[in-house]
Amino acid sequence: MEKSESGSPIYRYKETDKKKFEGASGEPSIEEISNHIEKNIGEIHMVFHELVSDQVHIDVHWVKPTKERPFHTLVTSGMSDKPMNTPDGVEGCDYAELSICLPEEWKISDEDFKDEKNYWPIRWLKYLARFPHEYNTWLSYGHTIPNGNPAEPFAENTGLNTMMLLPTIVLGENFHTLKLQNKSINFYSLIPIYTDEVNLKMKKGVEALFDGFDKFQVTDILHIDRPNTVKKKKLFGLF
């Protein structure tokens, strides 16, 4: 198993590793997840439903900004319909769902989503929610997934190029886990990060990023032009 400098395993996937198309199946928990969202975040304004589903049926629940939470919240359901393929010795990480928070001015409508600058966060929610089932793998705390190899910016108006999974800050601890009779679902927020931040995480571990996140007030509300939290060393000398 290939490992980073921090000792974390590195998983690599090719298109040929992807499972053949398989109609959605599993044990849907959409009602329980909807209740969890409305109890901890707010009223669900709309659900973006899939027309064709491979492996699992992924819906995206949209909670509009409020005075208490002045940002859009988008949460998946369906990722947890099936257990993920977690490694031996890893417990409590079989089921997950994902969220992403967008600033209040973000454009959200079917028409707006025709522009990739507006749609990419939703695209990545759906892509990553299906990813572990398509590639027979798992996603959990601190995992990073680049936009290509080498990673390219998610859209032309941002330098962010890699997704990282972390427990939400802005939605509160009560949202982190939904315990059901037959399974426990972990909710992770998608945090887009820069190449320098990925490199630090690979070298020293995900916790090495937290001081910089605190310093620059990085939360799980997406800002496409936020500062790079990894300070670059300045070179001095005569040339």
Residue with tokens 């310093």: 215
Higher pLDDT, 49 or 94: 94
Q: For position 239, what pLDDT does the model report?
A: 43
The tokens for 193 are 């990060």
Query: What's the CA gap between 150 and 157, in Å, rounded?
Result: 18
Q: What is the pTM of this model?
A: 0.90
The pLDDT score that the predictor gives to residue 2 is 74
* Of 21-25, 116-120, 202-206, minimum mean pLDDT range: 21-25
DSSP string for residues in 125-167: HHHHHHHHHHTT----TT-EEESTTTT--SSTT----EEEEE-
How much is the pLDDT for 51? 73
Mean pLDDT of the chain: 91
Name which of 4-8, 27-31, 189-193, 202-206 the model is least confident about: 4-8
pLDDT-derived band at 187, boundaries 50, 70, 90: very high
| Residue carrying the six token digits 């190449």 | 195
pLDDT value of position 6 = 76
Q: Express each pLDDT in 54-112 by its tens digit.
A: 778 999 999 999 999 999 999 999 999 999 999 999 999 999 999 999 999 999 999 99
Residue 22 has pLDDT above 80, yes or no: no
pLDDT band at 48 (very low <50, low <70, confident <90, very high): very high
Per-residue pLDDT of 141-163, as tens digits, reads 999 999 999 999 999 999 999 99
Question: What number is the average pLDDT over the span 224-233?
Answer: 87
Q: Distance between CA 44 and CA 66 in Å, rounded?
A: 12
pLDDT tens digit sequence for 109-126: 999 999 999 999 999 999
Which band of pLDDT confidence, cut at 50, 70 and 90, is reported for residue 128?
Answer: very high
In the predicted structure, residue 32 carries a pLDDT above the cut 90 = yes
Query: Is residue 99 within 8 Å of residue 168, measured between CB atoms?
Result: yes
- More confident call, 179 vs 237: 179
Query: What gap in Å lies between CA 30 and CA 21, rounded to an integer?
Result: 22
Please report which confidence band the pLDDT of residue 18 belongs to, taking 50, 70 and 90 as the band edges. Answer: low
